[in-house]
Protein backbone atom coordinates (compact mmCIF):
# COMPACT_ATOMS: atom_id res chain seq x y z
CA UNK A 1 0.00 0.00 0.00
CA UNK A 2 1.28 3.45 -0.89
CA UNK A 3 2.26 5.75 1.97
CA UNK A 4 1.27 9.40 1.68
CA UNK A 5 3.83 11.95 2.83
CA UNK A 6 3.58 15.73 2.86
CA UNK A 7 6.16 17.53 0.73
CA UNK A 8 6.95 21.21 1.19
CA UNK A 9 9.33 22.24 -1.62
CA UNK A 10 10.03 25.55 0.15
CA UNK A 11 11.96 28.58 -1.06
CA UNK A 12 15.15 29.39 -2.95
CA UNK A 13 17.04 26.19 -3.78
CA UNK A 14 14.28 24.17 -2.03
CA UNK A 15 12.22 23.17 -5.10
CA UNK A 16 15.36 21.98 -6.97
CA UNK A 17 16.74 19.81 -4.18
CA UNK A 18 13.32 18.44 -3.22
CA UNK A 19 12.62 17.54 -6.85
CA UNK A 20 15.99 15.74 -6.99
CA UNK A 21 15.16 13.81 -3.83
CA UNK A 22 11.73 12.71 -5.07
CA UNK A 23 13.29 11.37 -8.29
CA UNK A 24 15.72 9.35 -6.15
CA UNK A 25 12.99 8.02 -3.82
CA UNK A 26 10.94 6.93 -6.83
CA UNK A 27 13.92 5.27 -8.50
CA UNK A 28 14.67 3.38 -5.28
CA UNK A 29 11.19 1.88 -5.49
CA UNK A 30 9.59 3.71 -2.57
CA UNK A 31 5.84 3.57 -2.94
CA UNK A 32 5.00 7.10 -1.86
CA UNK A 33 2.11 9.38 -2.73
CA UNK A 34 3.18 13.00 -2.36
CA UNK A 35 0.85 15.65 -1.01
CA UNK A 36 2.42 19.00 -1.89
CA UNK A 37 2.01 22.00 0.39
CA UNK A 38 3.35 25.54 0.57
CA UNK A 39 5.14 27.37 3.37
CA UNK A 40 7.51 30.32 3.75
CA UNK A 41 7.96 33.07 1.18
CA UNK A 42 6.36 30.96 -1.56
CA UNK A 43 3.21 30.60 0.54
CA UNK A 44 3.22 34.27 1.50
CA UNK A 45 3.34 35.29 -2.16
CA UNK A 46 0.59 32.84 -3.17
CA UNK A 47 -1.80 33.06 -0.20
CA UNK A 48 -0.80 36.04 1.95
CA UNK A 49 0.22 33.69 4.78
CA UNK A 50 3.60 32.21 5.67
CA UNK A 51 2.02 29.04 6.99
CA UNK A 52 -1.44 28.44 5.53
CA UNK A 53 -3.96 26.26 7.37
CA UNK A 54 -4.00 23.79 4.45
CA UNK A 55 -0.30 23.14 5.03
CA UNK A 56 -0.81 22.58 8.74
CA UNK A 57 -3.65 20.16 7.92
CA UNK A 58 -1.47 18.24 5.47
CA UNK A 59 1.32 17.92 8.06
CA UNK A 60 -1.18 16.65 10.67
CA UNK A 61 -2.81 14.21 8.27
CA UNK A 62 0.31 12.35 7.14
CA UNK A 63 2.88 10.41 9.10
CA UNK A 64 5.86 12.33 7.78
CA UNK A 65 6.76 15.58 6.03
CA UNK A 66 9.76 16.22 3.79
CA UNK A 67 10.56 19.91 3.78
CA UNK A 68 12.83 22.19 1.75
CA UNK A 69 14.36 25.27 3.40
CA UNK A 70 12.03 28.17 4.09
CA UNK A 71 12.72 31.87 3.93
CA UNK A 72 11.22 33.92 6.74
CA UNK A 73 11.21 37.58 5.64
CA UNK A 74 13.43 39.27 8.24
CA UNK A 75 12.83 42.65 9.83
CA UNK A 76 9.11 42.50 8.99
CA UNK A 77 7.94 41.14 12.32
CA UNK A 78 7.37 37.55 11.15
CA UNK A 79 8.21 34.69 13.51
CA UNK A 80 10.41 32.00 11.93
CA UNK A 81 8.23 29.45 10.14
CA UNK A 82 10.54 26.68 11.28
CA UNK A 83 10.25 27.66 14.93
CA UNK A 84 6.46 27.91 14.55
CA UNK A 85 6.27 24.42 13.02
CA UNK A 86 8.38 22.90 15.80
CA UNK A 87 6.15 24.48 18.43
CA UNK A 88 2.80 23.77 16.74
CA UNK A 89 3.50 20.07 16.30
CA UNK A 90 5.56 19.78 19.49
CA UNK A 91 8.52 18.39 17.54
CA UNK A 92 10.69 18.22 20.61
CA UNK A 93 13.57 16.14 19.30
CA UNK A 94 15.91 17.48 16.67
CA UNK A 95 18.05 14.65 15.39
CA UNK A 96 21.12 15.76 13.48
CA UNK A 97 23.50 13.05 12.35
CA UNK A 98 26.77 13.75 10.57
CA UNK A 99 28.92 11.11 8.96
CA UNK A 100 32.15 11.40 6.97
CA UNK A 101 31.85 10.80 3.26
CA UNK A 102 34.83 9.64 1.24
CA UNK A 103 35.60 12.08 -1.55
CA UNK A 104 34.76 15.33 0.23
CA UNK A 105 37.34 17.97 1.07
CA UNK A 106 36.65 17.72 4.78
CA UNK A 107 39.56 17.65 7.24
CA UNK A 108 38.43 14.50 9.02
CA UNK A 109 37.74 10.95 7.94
CA UNK A 110 35.98 8.97 10.63
CA UNK A 111 33.23 11.17 11.94
CA UNK A 112 29.95 9.56 12.92
CA UNK A 113 28.16 11.78 15.43
CA UNK A 114 24.47 12.15 16.20
CA UNK A 115 23.47 15.35 17.95
CA UNK A 116 20.11 15.28 19.72
CA UNK A 117 18.97 18.82 20.31
CA UNK A 118 15.99 19.73 22.49
CA UNK A 119 13.83 21.66 20.07
CA UNK A 120 11.13 23.52 22.02
CA UNK A 121 12.52 25.01 25.26
CA UNK A 122 15.53 26.86 26.63
CA UNK A 123 16.67 30.11 25.06
CA UNK A 124 14.29 29.54 22.14
CA UNK A 125 11.14 29.24 24.24
CA UNK A 126 10.25 32.77 23.12
CA UNK A 127 9.11 33.68 26.63
CA UNK A 128 9.55 37.17 28.01
CA UNK A 129 11.31 38.81 25.10
CA UNK A 130 11.31 42.50 25.96
CA UNK A 131 13.31 45.57 25.09
CA UNK A 132 13.17 48.57 27.40
CA UNK A 133 11.48 51.73 26.17
CA UNK A 134 14.82 53.46 25.74
CA UNK A 135 16.03 50.47 23.77
CA UNK A 136 19.12 50.07 25.96
CA UNK A 137 18.09 46.88 27.76
CA UNK A 138 16.80 43.61 26.40
CA UNK A 139 15.62 40.40 28.02
CA UNK A 140 14.64 36.89 27.12
CA UNK A 141 13.74 34.06 29.44
CA UNK A 142 15.25 30.62 29.12
CA UNK A 143 12.76 28.08 30.41
CA UNK A 144 13.55 24.42 31.03
CA UNK A 145 11.00 21.91 32.35
CA UNK A 146 11.38 18.45 33.88
CA UNK A 147 9.00 17.07 31.25
CA UNK A 148 11.00 18.66 28.42
CA UNK A 149 14.30 17.32 29.77
CA UNK A 150 13.00 13.85 30.50
CA UNK A 151 11.53 13.29 27.08
CA UNK A 152 14.57 14.51 25.12
CA UNK A 153 16.96 12.51 27.30
CA UNK A 154 14.84 9.33 27.03
CA UNK A 155 14.63 9.88 23.29
CA UNK A 156 18.44 10.06 23.12
CA UNK A 157 19.10 6.99 25.28
CA UNK A 158 16.40 4.93 23.51
CA UNK A 159 17.89 5.86 20.16
CA UNK A 160 21.36 4.92 21.40
CA UNK A 161 20.06 1.49 22.40
CA UNK A 162 18.22 0.94 19.11
CA UNK A 163 21.20 1.99 17.02
CA UNK A 164 23.77 0.12 19.08
CA UNK A 165 25.59 3.31 20.05
CA UNK A 166 28.07 3.11 22.91
CA UNK A 167 28.41 6.57 24.39
CA UNK A 168 26.35 9.69 25.05
CA UNK A 169 27.88 13.03 25.95
CA UNK A 170 25.53 15.27 27.91
CA UNK A 171 26.45 18.83 26.99
CA UNK A 172 25.69 21.58 29.51
CA UNK A 173 26.90 24.75 31.20
CA UNK A 174 25.66 23.98 34.69
CA UNK A 175 28.70 25.63 36.31
CA UNK A 176 27.34 29.05 35.25
CA UNK A 177 23.71 28.48 34.28
CA UNK A 178 23.03 26.75 37.57
CA UNK A 179 19.25 26.68 37.36
CA UNK A 180 18.46 25.85 33.72
CA UNK A 181 21.48 23.85 32.63
CA UNK A 182 21.65 22.55 36.19
CA UNK A 183 18.18 21.02 35.93
CA UNK A 184 19.00 19.47 32.57
CA UNK A 185 22.15 17.89 34.00
CA UNK A 186 20.40 16.61 37.12
CA UNK A 187 17.70 14.90 35.05
CA UNK A 188 20.33 13.54 32.64
CA UNK A 189 21.98 11.75 35.58
CA UNK A 190 18.64 10.26 36.62
CA UNK A 191 17.78 9.01 33.15
CA UNK A 192 21.31 7.71 32.47
CA UNK A 193 20.95 5.44 35.49
CA UNK A 194 18.20 3.56 33.64
CA UNK A 195 20.59 2.74 30.78
CA UNK A 196 23.61 1.09 32.40
CA UNK A 197 24.90 -0.33 29.09
CA UNK A 198 25.40 3.08 27.56
CA UNK A 199 28.41 5.04 28.72
CA UNK A 200 27.30 8.53 29.72
CA UNK A 201 29.72 11.39 30.19
CA UNK A 202 29.15 15.05 30.95
CA UNK A 203 30.96 17.93 29.31
CA UNK A 204 30.73 21.69 29.40
CA UNK A 205 29.70 23.19 26.08
CA UNK A 206 32.83 25.28 25.50
CA UNK A 207 35.07 22.28 26.12
CA UNK A 208 32.93 20.28 23.71
CA UNK A 209 33.54 22.82 20.94
CA UNK A 210 37.28 22.55 21.40
CA UNK A 211 37.23 18.75 21.58
CA UNK A 212 35.02 18.53 18.49
CA UNK A 213 37.64 20.39 16.51
CA UNK A 214 40.68 18.62 18.05
CA UNK A 215 39.38 15.04 18.42
CA UNK A 216 35.95 14.70 16.81
CA UNK A 217 36.38 10.92 16.53
CA UNK A 218 35.93 10.72 20.33
CA UNK A 219 32.24 11.60 20.03
CA UNK A 220 29.42 9.16 19.43
CA UNK A 221 26.15 10.82 20.49
CA UNK A 222 25.54 14.25 21.99
CA UNK A 223 22.40 15.32 23.81
CA UNK A 224 21.85 18.92 24.78
CA UNK A 225 19.50 21.88 25.17
CA UNK A 226 18.17 24.00 22.33
CA UNK A 227 20.71 26.79 21.84
CA UNK A 228 23.80 24.63 22.44
CA UNK A 229 22.38 21.99 20.09
CA UNK A 230 21.76 24.53 17.34
CA UNK A 231 25.36 25.73 17.45
CA UNK A 232 27.08 22.39 18.01
CA UNK A 233 25.20 20.69 15.19
CA UNK A 234 26.40 23.29 12.68
CA UNK A 235 29.92 22.80 14.01
CA UNK A 236 29.46 19.06 13.41
CA UNK A 237 28.24 19.72 9.84
CA UNK A 238 31.51 21.57 9.27
CA UNK A 239 33.43 18.44 10.29
CA UNK A 240 32.01 16.46 7.37
CA UNK A 241 32.14 18.98 4.56
CA UNK A 242 29.62 21.69 5.37
CA UNK A 243 25.93 22.45 5.47
CA UNK A 244 25.33 20.68 2.16
CA UNK A 245 26.03 17.36 3.92
CA UNK A 246 23.85 17.62 7.03
CA UNK A 247 20.22 16.58 7.49
CA UNK A 248 17.91 17.18 10.42
CA UNK A 249 14.79 15.42 11.65
CA UNK A 250 12.27 17.19 13.87
CA UNK A 251 10.38 14.50 15.73
CA UNK A 252 7.38 14.65 18.04
CA UNK A 253 4.99 12.02 19.32
CA UNK A 254 2.51 12.52 16.45
CA UNK A 255 4.39 14.24 13.61
CA UNK A 256 7.83 14.36 12.08
CA UNK A 257 9.41 16.83 9.67
CA UNK A 258 12.61 15.98 7.79
CA UNK A 259 14.79 18.72 6.31
CA UNK A 260 18.26 19.92 5.40
CA UNK A 261 19.89 22.00 8.12
CA UNK A 262 20.90 24.70 5.65
CA UNK A 263 18.71 27.57 4.45
CA UNK A 264 17.25 28.58 1.10
CA UNK A 265 20.64 29.80 -0.25
CA UNK A 266 19.28 32.79 -2.19
CA UNK A 267 22.77 33.45 -3.60
CA UNK A 268 22.61 30.28 -5.72
CA UNK A 269 18.84 29.80 -6.07
CA UNK A 270 17.42 29.02 -9.50
CA UNK A 271 20.88 28.32 -10.97
CA UNK A 272 20.94 24.52 -10.71
CA UNK A 273 24.01 24.80 -8.42
CA UNK A 274 22.74 23.42 -5.09
CA UNK A 275 24.03 20.19 -3.64
CA UNK A 276 20.94 18.06 -2.88
CA UNK A 277 22.80 15.75 -0.46
CA UNK A 278 21.37 17.20 2.78
CA UNK A 279 17.78 16.68 1.67
CA UNK A 280 18.57 13.23 0.28
CA UNK A 281 20.04 12.37 3.71
CA UNK A 282 16.90 13.80 5.35
CA UNK A 283 14.83 11.51 3.14
CA UNK A 284 16.97 8.58 4.33
CA UNK A 285 16.20 9.60 7.93
CA UNK A 286 12.52 9.65 6.96
CA UNK A 287 12.73 6.15 5.49
CA UNK A 288 14.28 4.89 8.72
CA UNK A 289 11.54 6.62 10.70
CA UNK A 290 8.86 5.00 8.51
CA UNK A 291 10.55 1.64 9.02
CA UNK A 292 11.68 1.27 5.41
CA UNK A 293 15.34 0.30 5.96
CA UNK A 294 15.88 -1.31 2.54
CA UNK A 295 15.49 1.74 0.28
CA UNK A 296 17.25 3.80 2.98
CA UNK A 297 20.33 1.56 2.67
CA UNK A 298 20.23 1.52 -1.14
CA UNK A 299 20.00 5.29 -1.45
CA UNK A 300 22.80 5.82 1.07
CA UNK A 301 25.08 3.42 -0.80
CA UNK A 302 24.35 5.12 -4.14
CA UNK A 303 24.94 8.57 -2.66
CA UNK A 304 28.19 7.53 -0.94
CA UNK A 305 29.48 5.96 -4.12
CA UNK A 306 28.61 8.96 -6.30
CA UNK A 307 30.41 11.33 -3.90
CA UNK A 308 33.41 9.03 -3.38
CA UNK A 309 33.99 8.64 -7.10
CA UNK A 310 33.46 12.36 -7.71
CA UNK A 311 30.89 11.55 -10.37
CA UNK A 312 29.21 14.75 -11.58
CA UNK A 313 29.54 16.38 -8.14
CA UNK A 314 28.49 19.95 -7.35
CA UNK A 315 30.87 22.85 -6.76
CA UNK A 316 30.77 22.69 -2.94
CA UNK A 317 32.08 19.11 -3.26
CA UNK A 318 34.90 20.24 -5.54
CA UNK A 319 33.08 19.29 -8.74
CA UNK A 320 31.86 21.38 -11.65
CA UNK A 321 28.33 20.03 -12.14
CA UNK A 322 24.84 21.12 -11.18
CA UNK A 323 21.99 19.69 -9.11
CA UNK A 324 20.42 17.72 -11.96
CA UNK A 325 23.67 16.09 -13.13
CA UNK A 326 24.60 15.01 -9.61
CA UNK A 327 21.10 13.67 -9.03
CA UNK A 328 21.44 11.61 -12.21
CA UNK A 329 24.79 10.27 -10.94
CA UNK A 330 22.99 8.95 -7.85
CA UNK A 331 20.04 7.60 -9.87
CA UNK A 332 22.43 5.77 -12.22
CA UNK A 333 23.64 3.78 -9.20
CA UNK A 334 20.18 2.71 -8.03
Please give the positions annotated as active site: 124, 173, 206, 230
Name which position in 29, 128, 266, 318 contacts ligand NAI (CB under 6 A).
Answer: 266
What's the rounded Cα separation, in Å, for the pair 268 and 257? 24
Name which position in 42, 181, 275, 327 contacts ligand NAI (CB under 6 A).
Answer: 275
Q: Would you say 216 and 113 are in contact if contact means Cβ atoms under 8 Å apart? A: yes
Name which position in 111, 274, 282, 284 contacts ligand NAI (CB under 6 A).
Answer: 274
Residue 70 lies near ligand NAI (rule: CB under 6 A): yes
Nearer to ligand NAI, 67 or 173 (CB): 67
3-class DSSP state for residue 170? Answer: strand
Residue nearest to ligand NAI (CB): 263
Cβ 233 to Mg ion shortest distance, Å: 7
Residue 233 lies near ligand NAI (rule: CB under 6 A): no
Q: Would you say 122 and 227 are in contact if contact means Cβ atoms under 8 Å apart? A: yes
- Stated as kind and residue range, the H or E segment containing 271 is none
Name which position in 6, 71, 94, 226 contacts ligand NAI (CB under 6 A).
Answer: 71
Name which position in 42, 65, 82, 119 contacts ligand NAI (CB under 6 A).
Answer: 82
Cβ 69 to Mg ion shortest distance, Å: 11
Residue 229 lies near ligand NAI (rule: CB under 6 A): no
Site residues for ligand NAI, window 135-194 (CB under 6 A)? none
What's the rounded Cα separation, in Å, for the pair 309 and 304? 9
What's the rounded Cα separation, in Å, for the pair 40 and 315? 27
Burial code (b: 16+ CB inside 10 Å, e: under 16) for 186-208 equals ebbeebbeebeebebeebebeeb
What's the N-to-C CA distance of the chain in angstroms? 22
What's the rounded Cα separation, in Å, for the pair 231 and 211? 14
230 is in the binding site of which of ligand NAI, Mg ion, none (Cβ under 5 to 8 A by kind)?
A: Mg ion
Nearer to ligand NAI, 238 or 295 (CB): 238
Which of the ranges 21-29, 45-53, 267-275, 295-303 carries the binding residues for ligand NAI, by CB under 6 A?
A: 267-275
Residue 244 lies near ligand NAI (rule: CB under 6 A): yes
Closest-CA residue to 80 (of 67, 89, 71): 71
Residue 270 lies near ligand NAI (rule: CB under 6 A): no
Nearer to ligand NAI, 86 or 173 (CB): 86
Which residues have CB under 8 Å from 260's CB, separation 6+? 17, 68, 69, 243, 244, 246, 247, 248, 278, 279, 281, 282
Amino acid sequence: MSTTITVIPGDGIGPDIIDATIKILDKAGCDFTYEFAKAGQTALDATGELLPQETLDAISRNKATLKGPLTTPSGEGFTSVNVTLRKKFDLYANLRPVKSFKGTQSRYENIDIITIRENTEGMYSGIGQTTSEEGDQARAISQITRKGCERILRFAFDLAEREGRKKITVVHKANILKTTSGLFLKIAREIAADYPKIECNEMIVDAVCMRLVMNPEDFDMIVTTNLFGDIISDLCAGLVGGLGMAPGANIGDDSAIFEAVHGSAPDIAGQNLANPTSVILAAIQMLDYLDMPKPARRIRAALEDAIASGDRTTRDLGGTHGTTDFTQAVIDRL
